[in-house]
Amino acid sequence: MRPQELFPLFLPIDALKGVGQRTALLLKKLCGPYSRDILFHLPISIVDRRFMPSLDKAPSGEICTFLVKVDEHLPAPTRRTPYRVYTSNSTGFLELVFFNYHKDYLLKNLPLGQEVYISGRVERFSNRVQILHPDYIVKKDEFKKLPFLESVYPLTKGVSNRQMIKFEKEALALLPTLPEWIEPSFLQKKSYPSFKTALENLHHPTEKEDPLFSKNKERLAYDEILANQLALKLVRLKMKKKKGRILKGSSVLQKKLASRLTFSLTAAQKRVLKEIYQDMESPFSMLRLLQGDVGSGKTIVALFSMLKAIESSVQTAFLAPTDILVRQHFNTLTTLCEGLPLRIELLTGREKGKKREAILSDLKAGKINILIGTHALFQEEVSFKNLGLIVIDEQHRFGVNQRLQMSEKGISPDMLVMTATPIPRTLALTYYGDMDLSEIDELPPLRKKIETKVIPLTRVQELEHKLSHFLQSGNQVYWVCPLVEESQKSDLMAAEERFEKLQKLFPGKVGLIHGKMKGPEKDAVMEKFLKKEISILVATTVIEVGVDVQNATLMVIEHAERFGLSQLHQLRGRIGRGSEASQCLLLYAAPLSEVAEKRLQVMRESQNGFLIAQKDLELRGAGEVLGTRQSGLEVFKLADISIHRTLIPIARDDAQMIVNTDPKLQSERGKALRFLLYLFSKEEEIKTLRSG
């Protein structure tokens, strides 16, 4: 159903001239599989070759261009020494230096006595002007071939910048003139070029400007954000069209739970519950995102919501992404609901045979009130008698289509999705704009502040020996080893090495947990840690989410400089769950980069997850904050939220106006917007349009 005009943009990348099988594989990883993805792979800077100083005044370190005459070739006596070509003009002498050269190439392109243009970075040695491996050698009569303003692209090994420029040129030739989808008055106010012109200007600049902050880039960023917001609004419209159940509840179960709690709900929890209850009691389906910091009490809010649904005679489902987290929730909820007249069951990929059959049979018969599970709940044979509320924990691990898939297991069930990773409001509206937003922005009063210290790795042995005193007082320790990127040594090896060292110091008291272990193995180690059979748990970031050990009061994070702020905050949140004072030690390897130093400083000074997430956005960008690399959540290709965030509310309001006035996208602008949605691969949302 994609418009025919867009077909050339969705040709496979190897359809471009000069892209062979090997290069295609590299480009797919770098940009994506289509010719469109080459166009959307934008330059990050521009090289200006217009500076043509005299040779005697050419500054060292600058990119310069010279017209020179070739005076002499001095071939190297051995392959290890450079080949030199001496050139000159009326202003001085220029020495060209080549390593790993091809003599025939140099003789052909630098013929004796001929004038040529040379462009490259100037270096000065003993008052001699040199260029090591010139970027360009162009004969005098081919002056126009020299790119005086040249785009510089993010690259991968095996693809050069010059190749990238060639591929971009090929892809631009396929780009049709598309109808304008931006609202006319906004287009005029911003003085944006057309979509096609913006791409052409970025790939083939005619003036020196930072491509990251140019009007052309802003135009394309707005296009992408608008496509994103419109797609989310269309999904939301479909959800809102669905008449939901009115789930008022009798409050019987809620009152029983409230009476046995040993703590009072915070003002933020009460406010959020009120918002959720209003949604549940309305005639439309709820789709709400609940944000809350680690330990802010989202699970109890979810439980009260589920009890309200159960009182209204419907079943509830509780999804979490990992076995460990699912079992944690199962234990928490069964403990809290002990003695209440309801049934809670667990379903993961590990429940098999007769036990699984019995759970599925009872679920279909309506005998199970709360089913807690992993992705296993998406399976076709998991069938509810009357599903009315779905709770999804760690929302970013589940996509929009998975949410829709789950909602089809009931008749317009309400949906509450939760995240323990606080997301800056800007990002929440960008990525989860199809949902209403609730925030638990305060911690329970009993939660003690975690003391955070930043310590150099050189003191690790001193720390290992101090642990013996710490363990004697009966406390437990998490020791997190980092993900080691682009190295032969994996995070697993780092964790195993640390485990072996600590095991020698504290025989029988150390456990190891990592992502490559099977579910039962992980659970067995966690069970030992929970039962205090082991005192130190060495782990990779697999423990970032979920595990709740009240007695763990020390968190050691090795190579903390390799982690993002949000991830460090999540890891730190694994401790301080009980009444004891807790401490987090961030071990770093010197020297620290400026960004890493700022990150560790933020961790030392703040425990506000929302503030930390905002700082993370400023320091690292949206993709990293949301964990999109791990979760498969879409990362923007053209927009940079840290630069273009002011465009989000404008695009959101425009998208809302569009769905209010032209929900089927049938007006002239609506038809243009269909091009926009297809261009940014929002096919699922187009299907939503067609299905009404």
CB atoms inside a 10 Å sphere around CB 131? 24
Q: How far apart are the first and last CA of the chain?
A: 16
Give mean pLDDT, residues 183-199: 97
Give the pLDDT confidence of 310-328 residue by residue, as tens digits.
999 999 999 988 777 888 8
Residue with tokens 């070029």: 193
Question: CB-based contacts of 137: which residues, under 8 Å, 6+ apart?
Answer: 109, 110, 116, 117, 118
Annotate 370-432 with DSSP letters as a single string. EEEESGGGGSTT---SSEEEEEESSGGGS-HHHHHHHHTTSSS-EEEEEESS---HHHHHHHS
Annotate 631-643 with DSSP letters as a single string. H-----SS--HHH
* Distance, CA of 568 to CA of 515 (rounded, Å): 18
Q: What are phi and psi of 63, to 5 degrees?
A: -80, 125
Predicted local confidence at residue 346, as pLDDT: 95
Determine the Cα angle at 340 with ends 335 and 342, to 5°. 100
For residue 644, the SS3 value is helix
Q: What number of H helices and E strands is found in the chain?
A: 26, 21
Q: Identify the top-confidence range among 126-140, 300-314, 347-361.
A: 300-314
For residue 606, pLDDT beyond 60 = yes
For residue 519, pLDDT beyond 90 = no
Give the pLDDT confidence of 24-56 residue by residue, as tens digits.
999 999 999 999 999 999 999 999 999 999 999
Q: Identify the top-confidence range among 167-181, 207-221, 310-324.
A: 167-181
For the chain, which domains are there? 4-46+154-208 (no CATH), 50-146 (2.40.50.140), 252-440 (3.40.50.300), 450-606 (3.40.50.300)
Q: Which two tokens stand for residue 652?
A: 């959101």
Q: Which helix (H) or strand (E) holds 438?
A: strand 436-440
Give the pLDDT confidence of 112-141 residue by residue, as tens digits.
999 999 999 999 988 899 999 999 999 999
Predicted local confidence at residue 547, as pLDDT: 62
Predicted local confidence at residue 301, as pLDDT: 97
Where is average pLDDT lowest: 1-5, 77-81, 82-86? 77-81
Strand-strand pairing, 450-456 and 92-98:
unpaired
Question: CB-based contacts of 384: which residues, under 8 Å, 6+ apart?
Answer: 315, 317, 363, 364, 366, 371, 409, 410
pLDDT classification of 400: cutoffs 50, 70, 90: low
Strand partners, 132: 97
The answer to whether 576 touches 447, Cβ cutoff 8 Å, is yes
Q: Which helix (H) or strand (E) holds 48?
A: strand 45-48
For residue 371, pLDDT beyond 90 = yes
Give the pLDDT confidence of 648-688 residue by residue, as tens digits.
889 999 999 999 999 999 999 999 999 999 999 887 777 76
Predicted local confidence at residue 586, as pLDDT: 95
Q: Which two tokens stand for residue 371?
A: 């089913």
Give mean pLDDT, residues 294-321: 94
* Distance, CA of 323 to CA of 7 (rounded, Å): 43
Give mean pLDDT, residues 450-463: 92
Strand-strand pairing, 287-292 and 436-440:
parallel
For residue 567, pLDDT beyond 60 = yes
CB burial class (10 A; 0-12, 13-18, 19+) of residue 517?
middle
Give the pLDDT confidence of 330-341 residue by residue, as tens digits.
999 999 999 999
Predicted local confidence at residue 241, as pLDDT: 66
pLDDT classification of 462: cutoffs 50, 70, 90: confident
Q: 267-281 vs 298-311: helix axis angle to the nearest 10?
A: 30
* Distance, CA of 447 to CA of 436 (rounded, Å): 28
The CA R_g of the chain, rounded to the nearest whole Å, is 30
pLDDT classification of 157: cutoffs 50, 70, 90: very high
* Distance, CA of 25 to CA of 653 (rounded, Å): 40
pLDDT classification of 489: cutoffs 50, 70, 90: very low
Percent with pLDDT over 70 in the chain:
92
